[in-house]
Structures are given as structure tokens and as C-alpha cells.
Structure 1
Amino acid sequence: MHHNVFNLIFTMLSISIVVIFHELGHYLVARMNKATVKEFSVGFGPDIISYTDKRQTKWTIKMLPLGGYVHCEEGNLKFLSKIILYLGGPMGNFVFSALVSSFLFLQFGTQEQKLYLHNQEIISINKLNDQFQQKENLLDSAKISQETIESSNSDEARVARYKVIFADKTEKLIEGIKNIESKISYKKIGFIQSIAKGTKYSYMLFYLNAKNLILSIKNMSLKGIGGPLKVLKATNSVVSKYEYKDILMWLIMLSAGLGVINLLPVLPLDGGRIAYELFNLISSKLAQIFCYTTMYLGLGIMILIMLSDLKGMIL
């Protein structure tokens, strides 16, 4: 019983970290624009803990930590400042993903796939023609090993000639190869390279999430889209194993997903607020129509997602 309660608390805290970075993005942009921030809230519902600082910002932790918000005075903000304010949340998620990814790259390094023949590491396999002239290096480019491994047991591989260079700099001319093995290893990298790779990885996650979301909308499918219940269940499943690397990897993906979802042009999401301001430039009436339409649409989508979550948990 105590174990389950601890897991639930740990799960809520893990999700809250992602939410905090999202809202922190909004908060920092608001402060940069000298806008008054009235409340910084993690969660919804009744207050559990609250504190008001000297700037009269109320910092709150609420009962249901499955979201959050930053309430600030936007009346004096210009159009561009508002757009940047709304983009602050997704940017906060991007920064979180990039920082944690960089940390993991720095600690564990990059993954490398190496090939072995008779327990000797291979650094080059060159397939030769009948005159023993080099034809192609099978370790060139991204198709490094799988194709080589799969073909190493074929009839052609058994009779073809190869020039194999091993890690100890020895070379062998081999007529026919088979049973090439693939092994995964990790290579340590420096601080700057870790940041570069972490940022690139975060960008890739955002891109893939956006691509999948667009495909889901295009196909009018909720497949791959999870609501609060599905996120809660998946997060609990990960954190209950107490493997911090897996937990951090999950939070990276969760942060990227939250950042992308919030860019949907549906109120009250950040993308919807951006779209509202754009429509307001054209016509205030058009902006109001957009406001009411998307709020009802967003509510309908959320209900469908919740029902989908419940169906997945029951079946």
C-alpha cells in the first residue's frame, strides 16, 4: 500500500517537473516584458500550498498536478510580445528536453554499433571484384551493418572476395564471409558535443511529435495521442522501475509531446492564443467566433481523448 502511494507521489512529481518548465517559459518571457505575473500555478483545483512573493506573484501547488498556468496582465503587451509570451511555454519544454538530453549524452555517451568477425572488431569491409579491385566499402554511410549482417549468410557472401581491416590494423583477404556479429557500445563525449547532440535530439523529438500529430489530425485518428489518464498510467509504469535513466528519457519525450500539443491552434492552448491574436488583427468579431468555436472543439476533443484513455485502461 505504502509502495503504491510512494509511486503515485513520485509520478505526480515527475509530471510536475515537465509542467513547471513549461510554465517557467511563460513566466520568464512575461518578466522580460515587465508584465505583472499574478499567479504561477502547478496543477488545478484547490490550493495545497501557496506563497506570495514581494512582486505580488502567488506561487501555488494545487490538488491535481496534471497541468498548470501562469496568470499575468497582458493588457499593456504589444502583439509581438504576446506571441513570444505564448511561445514561451513550448520553448520551456524544448529547453528542458535539450538540457536533460545533454546530461544523458554527457554521462553515458553516444551509442555506437560495431561489427565483429571471429571476435575481432572490424573497421572496414571492402567487397572486391574478380580482379581484386575495390568495389564498395560495406561499412560506409548509415547502412553500416544490418545489410552486411543479413548478407553475410547469403550464397553470394560465401563466394565473394573481401578485404577486411580489423581494429588492430591487421588486414585479411577473405574469400567468403559469414557470421558477422553486431554489438552496441557507448563512446564518451565532451561537454560541448553533449550540448550539441542534446539540442539536436530535442529538435528531432519535437519534429517527430509534430509530424505524428499532423498525421493524426489528417487521418482524424486519436491513435498515438494520450490524455491525462494515459500519461499518468505510462509515467507511473516508468517511474515504478526506479531506473533514473529511463525516467529521464520518458520525461524528455513527455516534455516534447507537451510542447507540441500546446501549439495546436485550439483555445485555451498556446497555439490557440496565438491564433486568436492573429484573428484579432483582422477583426475582433472574427477573433470572438474563433474563440467560441475552438473552445467547444477543444472540449469535445478532450472528452474523446478521455474516453479513449478509459477504454484503453478497461480493455
Structure 2
Amino acid sequence: MLSQPPLWLVLIAFVCALGPLVFFHELGHYLVGRWFKVPAEVFSIGFGREILGWTDRQGTRWKVGWLPLGGYVKFVGDMNAASVPGEESDVPEEFRDRAFQFRPAWQRFLIVLAGPMANFLLAILIFAAFFTFVGTPRTNVIGAVQAGSAAATGGIQAGDRIISVAGRDTPSFDDIFNVVAVRPGETVDIAFERGGAVREVEVKLGSDYLEDASGQKQERGLLGVYPGAGIGEPIPVYRAVPLACDYTWRLTRSIADGLVQLIRGAISPKQLGGPIKIAQVAGQGVELGLLPFVQLMALFSINLGFINLLPVPMLDGGHLLFYAVEAVRRRPISARALDWAFRGGLALILALLIFTTVNDLGSLGLWDRLQRLIG
């Protein structure tokens, strides 16, 4: 079990991890907006009262808010930070031909899409640098098999190369772990290579529990295999970039896989974490060293990009859905429908925030301590 970092380190790590990711995300929106000559009123990192800021020559107010839980770019024509379109009469006449809400749907789509894509790009850059200067991911060759495990029962041996699990390609040991972890107790098909021949076997995965720094146990699937070696040798940058793209894609797919397993009930919703859990994990990453913390930032960046692509109003994915519908219908969605959609999206996000915060406080042992006090 990892040690619990001190609170001051957790707070610093949280800001150092989330701040650059939010900045990069919003910078994606901002740069593509500038490319289409859409003026921006505000570029904010954090919400709430401004604690630091300045205005550039284009009239954009760059600022830092006191609540470091996100950020936004407010383009001319936006009613608020969530990019809800305002009334035409509220847009200065000199900007009406360039205001965000009056741009073609495809331009608005690309401006919004640029935020999540910037997060994926940041992860690719981090992984490419890691593969170039440190080393490549561990291979999918098995170094050892745990006696009595699902792998041993299926006849998998040391030296075998696991090609796929549950129909998902596993070119690295990290992929094996990610696919197996979200399937505790499930029966899955495994394809592996031995002596140049590909074999297939069906096994029932085991399960065990991982403890976080607070002692909270989280169930995960268990195959019972260990990697054959550590990270591979560094590779040239022209090979590292494609590998980083592929690695980022596979991690994104594993996040989507975990979401599906959560909806199916294979993973307990109690394992969902919110800002408190993110801060705690960031603090643990800092204690492990610079490289683990930077890798953790890449994972956070992928998660941020993926979550923002979900088709939930208030998130980028909700806006993308609306613009796609507008393009098909060839007319904008009514202001009333957008208003109700954004209200529903806000309610959903707030409910999820409350739920994950309750989970986070429970993982810190707060509810157990309260129960003991009351009892």
C-alpha cells in the first residue's frame, strides 16, 4: 500500500497536474478559434474570483480563478463559460460577423473538438518523449505464471506471448493488465503464441483487491501472469511518435472499456473517484518521482480528453452532438431545447460530482470514523 502524502503535497501536486492539462485543453479551443478569426473575451484557468490576470492586444482577458477545477474560453457570442449562445443583440455590432454562434456548424465543431484533441496530443508528446529518452513499454511476453491462477489453468506458460484477451489486442503487458483488471471473475477468450503457433483458450479470470493510500480496497480481475522483462530500450523519435499514438489510442480504448464494464455492473460504482481522489493520486505520483508523475499527467490528460467527448450537455461532447444534429437538420436547435439540455447536463454533472465526492470521502475513512463516533 502506498503511503498517504501530506496534505500540502497533495494540493501542490493537484494544481501542478491539473493546471497544465486544463491550459492545454483550453488552448486547443483558443487556437482553432483564432484560426477561424473568432475573437475570445476570456481565457480562464480555474473558476470563481480572479486572482491573477491580464488583457492582451486582441482584448482577451487571460486570468486564473481561485477554484482550480477546470477552465474555459469564452468567445464573443457566448452567454457564459459553458458556451451557451447569447442573443444577437448582446454581441457588439463590429463582431457579429465573427461571433462564435454565427460561425458555420463545421467551424464550431472543430473549435470545440480541438480541446479534447489537445489533451490526446499532449499525452502523445509525453509518451513519445518517454519512449525516446527512457524506454518503450513492457512486451506481452510472459515471464512467469502464478500457480493455480487462471493462466495456469488455461495452460499458459512462461515465454508465451499473449496476443489478445476478450477479443482485444494486447501488444504490451500494460494492455493485458488494463483488459483483465476491469473483468474480475469473467470468462474470457485468450489468444497466445507459443513456438510460432497461435493457440486459443477460454479461462475464468480470478480477482483480488488493490489497496490505495487510504486502505480502500478496489476489486480487479486477475489472470496470474508476470512480465518477462522491464521496459524496452529507447527508440528513435520517428518510431516513438507512431508508437505513442498507438499507445494513447489503446489507453483511450481501455478507458472506454472500463466505462462499459461499469455500466454492465462488472465494476462497482464505488470505485469512481472525483477531485479528491485525483488530488490524492497526484500526490502519490509526486512521491514516486518526476517520471512517474509525468506519466500520470499523460494518463490524466487522456482521461480529461475522453470525458469531455462524452455526449453530455455542458461538456464538449454535448456541444459536438448539437452541432452534428444542426448540420443534419440544416438549422440550429431551438434556444428552449438547448436551455433544457444544458440544465439537465448541469444537474447530471453536479450529481456525479456529489457522488464521487462521497466516494472519495469514504475512501479516506470519513464515514467509518463518523459511524464509530455515532455508535
| TM-score w.r.t. length of structure 2 | 0.62
Q: Are 1:50 and 2:101 counterparts?
A: no
Measured in 1, the distance between the counterparts of 2:140 and 2:342 equals: 51
Post-superposition offset of 1:89: 1.1
Q: Which residue of 2 aligns with 1:292?
A: 343
Post-superposition offset of 1:13: 1.7
Measured in 2, the distance between the counterparts of 1:20 and 1:247 equals: 18
SS at 2:71's partner residue? strand
SS at 1:258's partner residue? helix
Measured in 2, the distance between the counterparts of 1:206 and 1:183 equals: 24
Q: Which residue of 1 aligns with 2:283?
A: 236
Range with bigger deviation, 42-51 or 273-282 = 273-282
Measured in 2, the distance between the counterparts of 1:7 and 1:310 equals: 15
Counterparts of residues 1-315 of structure 1 (less than 5 Å): 5=8, 8-73=11-76, 74-110=100-136, 111=138, 141-142=161-162, 182-184=228-230, 186-219=232-265, 222-241=269-288, 243-279=289-325, 281=331, 283-284=333-334, 285-313=336-364, 314=366, 315=368
Measured in 2, the distance between the counterparts of 1:261 and 1:78 equals: 25
Contact 1:11 1:239 in 2 (8 A): no
Q: Which residue of 1 aligns with 2:146?
A: none
Post-superposition offset of 1:199: 1.4
Instruction: Summarize the Cα distance change of 1:221–1:269 in structure 2 as closer, same or farther, 3 Å threshold.
Output: farther
SS at 1:71's partner residue? strand
Measured in 1, the distance between the counterparts of 2:272 and 2:73 equals: 25
Post-superposition offset of 1:236: 1.4
Measured in 1, the distance between the counterparts of 2:32 and 2:110 equals: 7
Contact 1:114 1:184 in 2 (8 A): no
Measured in 2, the distance between the counterparts of 1:115 and 1:309 equals: 35
SS at 2:232's partner residue? strand
SS at 2:69's partner residue? strand
Contact 1:113 1:184 in 2 (8 A): no
Post-superposition offset of 1:105: 0.4
Measured in 2, the distance between the counterparts of 1:209 and 1:106 equals: 25
- 2:59 maps to amino acid: Q
Instruction: Summarize the Cα distance change of 1:60–1:139 in structure 2 as closer, same or farther, 3 Å threshold.
Output: same
Instruction: Summarize the Cα distance change of 1:218–1:7 in structure 2 as closer, same or farther, 3 Å threshold.
Output: closer
Contact 1:50 1:61 in 2 (8 A): yes
Aligned residues: 257
Contact 1:45 1:64 in 2 (8 A): yes
- 1:292 maps to amino acid: R
- 2:279 maps to amino acid: L
Post-superposition offset of 1:140: 7.3
Post-superposition offset of 1:115: 9.3
Contact 1:26 1:85 in 2 (8 A): yes
| TM-score w.r.t. length of structure 1 | 0.72
Contact 1:114 1:185 in 2 (8 A): no
1:267-303 deviation digits (Å, cap 9, x = unpaired)? 2111122223345547415444433333322322222
Range with bigger deviation, 80-89 or 301-310 = 301-310
Post-superposition offset of 1:141: 4.9
Measured in 1, the distance between the counterparts of 2:63 and 2:33 equals: 17
Post-superposition offset of 1:210: 2.0
Larger Rg: 1
SS at 2:37's partner residue? coil
Instruction: Summarize the Cα distance change of 1:190–1:283 in structure 2 as closer, same or farther, 3 Å threshold.
Output: closer
Measured in 2, the distance between the counterparts of 1:18 and 1:199 equals: 18
Structure 1: 5+ residue stretches without partners: 117-137, 147-162, 164-180
Measured in 2, the distance between the counterparts of 1:115 and 1:308 equals: 36
1:49-73 deviation digits (Å, cap 9, x = unpaired)? 1011101111111112221111112
Post-superposition offset of 1:142: 4.1
Instruction: Give RMSD over aligned pairs.
Output: 2.9
Measured in 2, the distance between the counterparts of 1:279 and 1:182 equals: 49
SS at 1:212's partner residue? helix
